[in-house]
Amino acid sequence: MLDQSMASAEDLMTREVVVVHPDTKLATAVKLMAEHAISGIPVVDAAGMPVAMLTEGDLLRWHGEFTEKQAWWLEHLADGYDLAPTFLGALRSQSRKVSAIMSKDVTYVSPETPARELARLFYEKKIKRVPVVRDGKMVGLVSRADLVKALAKELAAEQAAEKA
């Protein structure tokens, strides 16, 4: 059904998108996600270009302390000495920012991307949302729910045409 659709990303996208930056505190990002009932939030640079996504999955994988690999490096860095508490505190504060856990492999599309291509991207890349970018800046976001709404609208129109 969507392969016959004339809808594009621009037709389907949400235009008012909540975003965060890599240096946003995780607590702030989580609060925004909860307040807006969203499962993922684009991470944009200063120019408004998406550089990553922060998702519920990222939050579930995050445990708030050093990873095993980070702990190994810190142990070798100290080499028998205690690391300064202020140094460890600074490292921990960095791990409490969006940049510490965001998914950097962000897929984005142009406003002209057809609905069928969006569906293919969601399925093949196992993603739930894509930022829509024009001239190096995010102008919207299309989610799987947006595609479902478009499909429902097309099915309703098809049923109405059959009854006529």
100-109 pLDDT per residue, tens:
889 998 999 9
Rounded to whole angstroms, the Cα distance separating 71 from 23 reads: 22
pLDDT attached to residue 66: 47
Q: What is the pLDDT of residue 155?
A: 85
The token duo for 70 is 């980070």
Count CB neighbours of 37 within 10 A: 6
**pLDDT: is 152 or 109 the higher one?**
109
Q: How confident is the model at residue 50 (pLDDT cuts 50, 70, 90)?
A: very high
Q: Give the pLDDT confidence of 107-149 residue by residue, as tens digits.
A: 999 999 999 999 999 999 999 999 999 999 999 999 999 999 9
pLDDT tens-place string over residues 54-73? 998 888 776 555 455 555 44
**Residue 140 CB-half CA count within 13 A:** 17
Q: Does domain 2-62+101-163 have CATH number 3.40.50.2000?
A: no
DSSP state of 117: H
The C-alpha torsion from 139 through 145 and 146 to 149, rounded to 10°, is: -160
User: Which carries the bigger pLDDT value, residue 56 or residue 1?
Assistant: 56
Amino acid at 3: D
pLDDT of amino acid 87: 45
Return the domain boundaries, the chain.
2-62+101-163
For the whole model, what pTM was predicted? 0.75
Average confidence (pLDDT) over 22-48: 93
Report the distance separating Cα 25 and Cα 94, nearest Å: 9
- 6-10, 55-59, 81-85, 96-100: the lowest-pLDDT one: 81-85
> What CA–CA distances, in Å, run from 80 to 76, 77, 162?
8, 9, 78
Rounded Cα gap, residues 160 and 120, in angstroms: 27
Question: Whole-angstrom Cα distance, residue 153 to residue 142?
Answer: 16
